[in-house]
């Protein structure tokens, strides 16, 4: 029986690229996301290669998550790898000018959504045991602050600490947990963050070489297919052309 990967946020970016990468290697796919048309198109594309089960899912809804997991068909129930990829950033403006609703959306998706899916699949992953993996998509924002990151950076710091603490609880089960923290990557991320401002997205990526969705998907696949006795706790991946900057100083 083929190994099964459960991917959240599979309708674009890292999630969609991961579905293609795992399919190329023969894994069975459970792909989830909020956009049904994109999910179906991806399932149609990949089902010629591997078994695919897809379900529309808003990870913020705990009952919906439980229902999707409970309804997994035979052949898809024994999830070996969970890719907690669903997440977003909003309002890259100073905190004092951001709507509270945007903060709540990031917390509900990046924190509660990740927790909902992890909790629903945890016992399954423990049953699979040695070689099972939870890969949580964090961000360099969880480690390095910058203007306009406010709640987004806070949620990704949660992802890092949740991953570390989960590792402690899962010691002895064989289940690995990794915080995969990308730097700048050219996906729909900035379009979502700026609520459709294509010019802002273009400015961010212009004149440099960002990571691609496929770059991160390759890291996901590598982590998930390491020998059973190896766990990478955290991977921070930046493009070569990105680095840290000096501290900001307010001057008279």
Q: pLDDT tens-digit profile of 161-210? A: 999 999 999 999 999 999 999 999 998 887 788 888 888 888 889 999 99
Q: Mind listing the pLDDT tens digit for each residue in 212-224? A: 999 999 999 999 9
Pick the catalytic residue: 54, 146, 152, 205? 152
Q: Mind listing the pLDDT tens digit for each residue in 20-77? A: 999 999 999 999 999 999 999 999 999 999 999 999 999 999 999 999 999 999 999 9
Band the pLDDT of 233: cuts 50, 70, 90: very high
Average pLDDT over the chain, rounded to an integer? 96
pTM across the whole model:
0.95
> What are the DSSP calls for the chain, one per residue?
---EEEESSTTSHHHHHHHHHHHHTT-EEEEEES-HHHHHHHHHHHTTTS-EEEEE--TT-HHHHHHHHHTPPTTTSSEEEEEE--------S-GGGS-HHHHHHHIIIIIIIHHHHHHHHHHHHHHH-TT-EEEEE--GGGTS--TT-HHHHHHHHHHHHHHHHHHHHTTTT--EEEEEEE-SB-SSHHHHHTTS-HHHHHHHHTTS--B-HHHHHHHHHHHHTS-TT----EEEE--TT----PPP----
152 is catalytic: yes
Q: Mind listing the pLDDT tens digit for each residue in 124-164? A: 999 999 999 999 999 999 999 999 999 999 999 999 999 99
Average pLDDT on 240-251 reads: 95
């Amino acid at each position: 029986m083929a190994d099964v990967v459960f991917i959240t946020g599979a309708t674009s970016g890292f999630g969609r690229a991961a579905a293609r990468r795992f399919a190329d290697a023969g894994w069975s796919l459970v792909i989830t996301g909020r956009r049904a048309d994109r999910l179906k198109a991806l399932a149609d594309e990949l089902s010629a290669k591997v078994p695919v089960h897809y379900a529309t899912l808003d990870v913020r809804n705990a009952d919906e998550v439980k229902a999707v997991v409970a309804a997994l068909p035979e052949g898809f129930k024994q999830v070996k790898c969970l890719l907690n990829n669903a997440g977003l950033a909003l309002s890259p403006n100073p905190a004092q000018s951001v709507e509270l609703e945007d903060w709540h959306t990031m917390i509900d998706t990046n924190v509660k959504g990740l927790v909902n899916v992890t909790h629903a699949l945890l016992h399954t992953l423990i049953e699979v045991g040695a070689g099972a993996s939870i890969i949580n998509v964090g961000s360099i924002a969880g480690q390095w602050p910058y203007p306009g990151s406010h709640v987004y950076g806070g949620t990704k710091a949660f992802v890092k600490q949740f991953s570390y603490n989960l590792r402690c609880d899962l010691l002895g089960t064989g289940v690995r947990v990794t915080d995969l923290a990308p730097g700048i990557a050219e996906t729909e991320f900035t379009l979502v963050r700026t609520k459709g401002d294509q010019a802002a997205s273009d400015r961010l990526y212009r004149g440099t070489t960002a990571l691609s969705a496929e770059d991160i998907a390759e890291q996901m696949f590598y982590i998930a297919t390491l020998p059973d006795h190896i766990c990478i706790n955290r991977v921070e991946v930046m493009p070569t052309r990105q680095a840290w900057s000096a501290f900001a100083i307010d001057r008279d």
